[in-house]
Amino acid sequence: SIPIAKQLASIKALRKGSDLEKAFATAALVYNNSADPKGKLSKAEAKSLLQTQFLSFMQGQESKPKYQEIISALDEESENKIDFEDFMILLVSLALMSDLLREIRNVKTTK
């Protein structure tokens, strides 16, 4: 398996890409490395990927009803597969409710 950083560096269009472009490309590469040949993940695989690659955003969210709803949906019908678009919706949903996002928003930047 080729490291994500090396895969990212191999994408010529991103050599001068912005931080945001590289962040999105990284998310796409992480997803693609786990997806099946049709570009899909089982719900169980999606849950595992989120728990290993997005843990800092998910920590402390267990008591929130929306978090429980999202995670329980991944436990149901685990043979069903999700595509990249659905995975990104999960990712953004979890990020928006996270305590880490609030902390990030409070970081002071210098100009």
Q: Is 41 helix (H, G, I), strand (E, B) or coil?
A: strand
Structure tokens at 49: 């990927």
Structure tokens at 28: 């796409």
How many angstroms separate the CA atoms of 33 and 29, rounded? Answer: 6
Q: Tell me the one-letter amino acid at 63.
A: S
43-58, pLDDT tens digit by residue?
999 999 999 999 999 9
pLDDT in tens, the chain (111 residues): 799 999 999 999 898 999 999 999 999 999 999 999 999 999 999 999 999 999 999 999 989 999 999 888 888 766 789 999 999 999 999 999 999 998 998 987 766
How confident is the model at residue 111, as a pLDDT?
63
Q: What are the extents of the domains in the chain?
A: 1-34, 37-109
Structure tokens at 1: 């398996």
Torsion of CA 48, 1, 86, 102, to 10 degrees: 70
How many angstroms separate the CA atoms of 75 and 72, rounded? Answer: 5
